A and B are shown apart, each in its own frame.
Chain A
Amino acid sequence: MSRESLLVATFVELADVLVDEFDVVELLSLLTDRCVAVLDVTAAGLLLADPTGELRVVASSSEAMRTLELFELQSAEGPCYECFHTGEPLANAQLTATDQPWPNFGPRAIASGFLSVTALPMRLRGRTIGALNLFCADSGALSERDLIAAQAFADVATIGLLQHRAVEEAQTVNDQLGAALNSRIVIEQAKGIVAERAGVSMANAFNKLRDHARSHNTRLSELAAQVVAGDVDIGALGLKPTSMPEPRVEQRPSRGTAEA
């Protein structure tokens, strides 16, 4: 396959992963694998910030790379670390140069067989969520074309990740909203049940439920759910059942019933 078709195929693959059954690790592993296959690099790795802002190794094209990236994080220095904190790309840093800025990371990377390194930010609208590391076994520079393609890979993955997070957050909040709405409704249903069984007012029924929940260290919504499920007898709430219900007779809707 030509380089262009490889690029196109990679974007199609990345987009495919983004559609359904989205898996973060799958997406990022695909990204690092394709960097190695399509670009002129020996290894690729990816670090993402966790919710506390700490960087974590998420994907690596090889085990040597993973170890090196873990080392980079531990020693809090290195191209990926720097790129994440500045949000700026760091292209073709030569690890053998005498003025290379990483006293711990530099020698370690050379020992792992890498001579030059590029780090690209995963960035959208001023927010950097991680960085893509590209390592080369020779000191040759990545071409402008490769840098542009690599940044485009990182951008696609960034958009996918942020979108995925936004949807997950929305889902969580929507679930909470649903639960809050449900508990409010269940409390009203429980009030109705208690008011009917004990022949008391809604306000009175609510007070009994609330007092019982407090004295039993239960949440009101939990108690209400138990009442609605028929698991709590109103005797337990300190109420006496009324003489109702009388013998049951099916009521037929009658025309002309006056509205209350």
Chain B
Amino acid sequence: MIDAHVLEIQSRFTSGSTGLDAQRLCEICAEVAQMSGAGIMMMSGDVQRGSLCTTNAASALIEELQFSLGEGPCLDAFHEERPVLEPDLANPDDVRWIAFTEAALDAGVGAIFGFPISIGPVKLGALNLYRHEPGGLTAEQHADCLILADIVARSVIMMQAHATPGQLAQEFEAGSDFELAVHQASGMVSSQLSVSVGQALIRMQAHAFGNAMSLRSVASAVIGRELRFDVAERGVR
């Protein structure tokens, strides 16, 4: 069913003076849903492939934390194929994401909502929406978020459908973050340990967790040749 309200939301995406790209897509989502920030997390299969866009530092951190820790509302929303709502991150009914919650609270996230991005059975990723102040979604907001997730799904597919074969759509370039440094570092660590890049990534995640570092700082230490995984104390300051 297409009603006037859906069309009204849809028109927000098409009325801009400049062409729509992933970054603008994200910004409009945050505006329409009346949130402090938004981000679009891309998955491929069951693997998190990075962030298509984020509106600010906190929404970028929300995406990074989930990539780094492998837990969080958007990952749950994607896997469980349903909205995952945490209206009060500081006082949740049940603590679902221990490591994520602490770091997200530090970044000023009061409430966070993850909505799956999909077209029928085709699963693309999840929309992350957060607000500084705790509090639930109104019924209208909730409905709007579902519409937004649907528009995001169709827009992403439309953008990629026009891309050069084998390449990512241009519209994704401006605000995307595919954690490239982490993948470079996992290549280095896989050489150091003679293990697969997947195993290398897990070792880096373990090191990050064990040393209260972010995965990105572990990666940059590896790339800066300040940290090796094959020698005990060497290079570790």
Identify the A interface with B (CB < 8 A).
163, 166-167, 169-171, 173-174, 176-185, 188-197, 202, 219, 221, 228, 244-246, 248-255, 257-260
Contacts and interface: CB of A to CB of B under 8 A. Distances in A.
Nearest to B182: A188
Given A181-B178, A251-B232, A260-B220, A176 B165 contact: yes
Interface stretch (B29-37, B105-113, B137-145, B207-215): B207-215
A191 B180 CA distance: 10
Contacts of A169: 157, 161
Contacts of B237: 257-258
Contacts of A202: 184, 223
B211 A254 contact: yes
A183 B168 CA distance: 10
A223 B161 CA distance: 25
Contact of A196 (B50, B192, B234): B192
12 contacts: A174-B160, A177-B44, A181-B178, A183-B166, A185-B178, A188-B180, A196-B189, A221-B166, A244-B192, A246-B234, A260-B221, A260-B227
**Consensus secondary structure, chain A interface:** helix
B42 interface: yes
A202 to B, nearest CB: 6
A225 B234 CA distance: 30
Size category of the binding interface on chain B: 35 or more
Contacts, number: 156
Interface of B: 42, 44-45, 49-50, 119-124, 153, 156-157, 160-161, 163, 165-169, 178, 180-181, 183-193, 197, 206-207, 210-211, 213-214, 217, 220-221, 223-224, 226-234, 236-237
A189 B187 contact: yes
B197 A189 contact: yes
Contacts of A252: 232
Given A167-B122, A260-B227, A193 B190 contact: yes
Contacts of A184: 168, 178, 180
Given A170-B120, A253-B206, 7 more contacts: A173-B161, A179-B166, A181-B178, A192-B184, A193-B188, A196-B192, A253-B210
Contacts of B227: 257, 260
A-B CB proximity, top 8 nearest: A192-B187, A178-B44, A260-B221, A253-B210, A188-B183, A189-B187, A196-B191, A196-B188
